[in-house]
């Protein structure tokens, strides 16, 4: 039987009901050791996780701890955040996170908000099944020193930002958001962005923020923004392709 693959949206839970044939088994991870290993990577990497409830509530947090013996996991939570109570009231939610080029998704049951002396947490039953989806990406190259984007902060239009470009492809780019800059949420579009890769490659683009993840190297406090280019024009696309080709040629020469 043929496998039907849904169009997975980066910031949204994948529509599992759209999977047919053997596709559900292709993406499914249910071996206990592998489940625990992936969850521990989320904890150790302080990876940002998007929690979504059927009613539309969503909250971005990190996996704080997992207790394999008690079969419970805990997420960092701000009890005063307006989205936390709707998540708890929903009783179930879906978590989405990224590990490199892998999108992880898992359902959570038995959700409750617990309070400690100095912090609060969202606790849920340890999931027995995870789903892994390989993100479709164009070929990416690491940018040279000085590559940046100039834009206005989408939530604070008076704030001008110059963010370092970590890597780039024809489809999008990854940006470093400093820890002292107000957060930029996934799922929004930012117009009027100037992409400056080098003296010969400077183009106007519109960015779609696909996902937000933790530090891009161990110990980093910066946040990584994974962005797509929205409706990239022909001239801008050609300029980007020339830049990518140049970086690839230089990399090949250095490896000789």
Domains delineated in the chain: 16-134 (2.30.110.10), 141-255 (2.40.10.220)
Asked if pLDDT for residue 8 goes beyond 50, the answer is: no
Band of residue 225 on the pLDDT scale cut at 50, 70, 90: very high
Lowest mean pLDDT among 42-46, 220-224, 243-247: 220-224
Note the pLDDT tens digit of each residue in 72-122.
Answer: 999 999 888 998 888 888 878 899 998 766 788 999 998 899 987 778 899
Task: Report pTM.
Answer: 0.52
Name the residue among 144, 198, 204, 141 with its Cα closest to residue 173.
141
Q: What are the tokens at 105?
A: 């998704």
Residue for token pair 């990876």: 47
pLDDT of residue 7: 35
Note the pLDDT tens digit of each residue in 33-52.
Answer: 989 999 999 999 888 899 99
Lowest mean pLDDT among 11-15, 76-80, 132-136, 228-232: 11-15
Asked if pLDDT for residue 3 goes beyond 50, the answer is: no
Asked if pLDDT for residue 246 goes beyond 90, the answer is: no
Q: Note the helical H segments in the chain.
A: 23-27, 32-44, 84-90, 234-255
């Amino acid at each position: 039987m043929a496998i039907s693959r849904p169009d997975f949206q980066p910031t949204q839970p994948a529509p599992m009901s759209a999977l047919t044939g053997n596709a559900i088994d292709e993406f499914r991870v249910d071996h206990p050791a592998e489940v625990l290993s992936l969850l521990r990577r989320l904890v150790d990497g302080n990876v940002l996780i998007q929690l979504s409830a059927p009613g539309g509530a969503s909250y971005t947090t990190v996996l704080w701890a997992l207790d394999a013996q008690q079969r419970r996991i805990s997420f960092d939570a701000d009890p005063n955040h307006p989205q936390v109570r709707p998540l708890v009231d929903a009783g179930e939610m879906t978590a989405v996170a990224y590990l490199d080029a892998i999108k992880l998704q898992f359902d959570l049951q038995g959700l409750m908000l617990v309070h400690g002396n100095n912090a609060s947490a969202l606790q849920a039953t340890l999931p027995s099944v995870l789903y892994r989806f390989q993100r479709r990406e164009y070929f990416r190259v690491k940018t040279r020193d000085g590559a940046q984007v100039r834009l206005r902060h989408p939530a604070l239009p008076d704030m001008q930002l110059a963010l370092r470009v970590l890597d780039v492809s024809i489809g999008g780019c990854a940006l470093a958001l400093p820890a002292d800059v107000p957060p930029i949420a996934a799922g929004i579009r930012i117009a009027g962005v100037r992409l400056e890769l080098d003296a010969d490659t400077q183009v106007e683009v519109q960015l779609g923020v696909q996902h937000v993840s933790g530090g891009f190297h161990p110990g980093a406090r910066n946040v990584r923004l994974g962005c797509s280019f929205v409706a990239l024009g022909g001239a801008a696309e050609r300029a980007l392709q020339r830049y990518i080709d140049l970086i690839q040629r230089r990399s090949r020469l250095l490896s000789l």
